[in-house]
Structure 1
Amino acid sequence: MDDELERIRERKRLELASRLSAKDGVIEISDHGFAGAIAAHRYLVVDFWAEWCGPCQRVAPEIEALALEFAGRVAFGKCNVDLNPKTARSFGVEVIPTLVFFSNGRPVGRLTGALPRETLRSQVKRAFGLSE
């Protein structure tokens, strides 16, 4: 019983930390907080990026806009590959930007490159079976 209670407390702590780190509807995800972010959100899109990456900078506003558009249905996160190499490696991220779609904690899709918002939107809907 104590182990169960401790797991629940840890999950809630990570969930709260994930919410508190949100900026413009996009969660900042670290190696340490990745498991909590996945556990806290049924549907999650993670943008693997780096500050020096031009295409990453171009897609960032599109991700922020989609985070607001899908608020309450899909969570969006950003994981800086330079600061969080463990998480990037664990999902085989070799090209950035890479978006990985998670449903109930499992990867269900992936996109690479700075794609237009409409393409990203349709992929989000397809990955999670969402309609208008």
Structure 2
Amino acid sequence: MVVNFSAEQSNACKIQEPEIEAISKVYQGRVTFTRLDVKGQDDLTRQWKIDGNPTLVFFKNGHEVYRITGIMMRDKLRRLIEGVLLAE
């Protein structure tokens, strides 16, 4: 699972969103992608230590295995999914 912590008003998040939409189609049925709007979610962002937008948090078997803050383009996102989430 990849959770996209983002904010609608963020220009970086606006750039990131189409990249995630495109890659989610490639991994449909294998990786779940979800978006969480951080606006008004101060407790949640503190709990998950979200320092910037967008922040992508990768989970495998219910545990966080990787995170990255900032824009991640499709190719890098694909490499991370293959190496972090889909690796045996």
TM-score after normalising by structure 1: 0.62
How far off is 1:130 after superposition? 4.1
Percent sequence identity is 36
How many positions carry a matched residue from both structures? 88
- State the Cα deviation string for residues 104-128 of structure 1 (Å, max 9, x = none): 1110000111121101111111111
Task: Tell me what 2:84 maps to.
Answer: 127
Q: Which has the higher helix share?
A: 1
**Which amino acid is the alignment partner of residue 32 of structure 2?**
A
In the alignment, the residues of structure 2 paired with residue 83 and residue 102 of structure 1 have an alpha-carbon distance, to the nearest angstrom, of 23
- Could you say which structure has the greater relative contact order, defined with CA pairs below 8 angstroms and 6 or more residues apart? 2
Number of the residue aligned with 1:49: 6
Alpha-carbon RMSD: 1.5
Give the Å deviation of 1:53: 0.6
Compute the displacement of 1:88 (Å).
Answer: 2.2
> Which residue does the alignment assign to 1:117?
74
**What are the Cα deviations for residues 39-98 of structure 1, in whole angstroms up to 9, with x where unaligned?**
xxxxx1001100111010001001111111101100000011114333322210011110
Counterpart in the other structure of 1:95: 52
Instruction: Name the SS for the 2:24 alignment partner.
Output: helix
Q: Secondary structure at the match of 1:82?
A: coil
- AA at the equivalent of 1:115: M
TM, length-normalised to structure 2: 0.90
1:70 maps to 27
Q: Give the match's secondary structure for 1:114.
A: coil
CA–CA separation in structure 1 for the residues paired with 2:31 and 2:86: 11
Residue 130 to residue 69, structure 1, CA distance change in 2 (3 Å): farther
Which is greater in Rg? 1
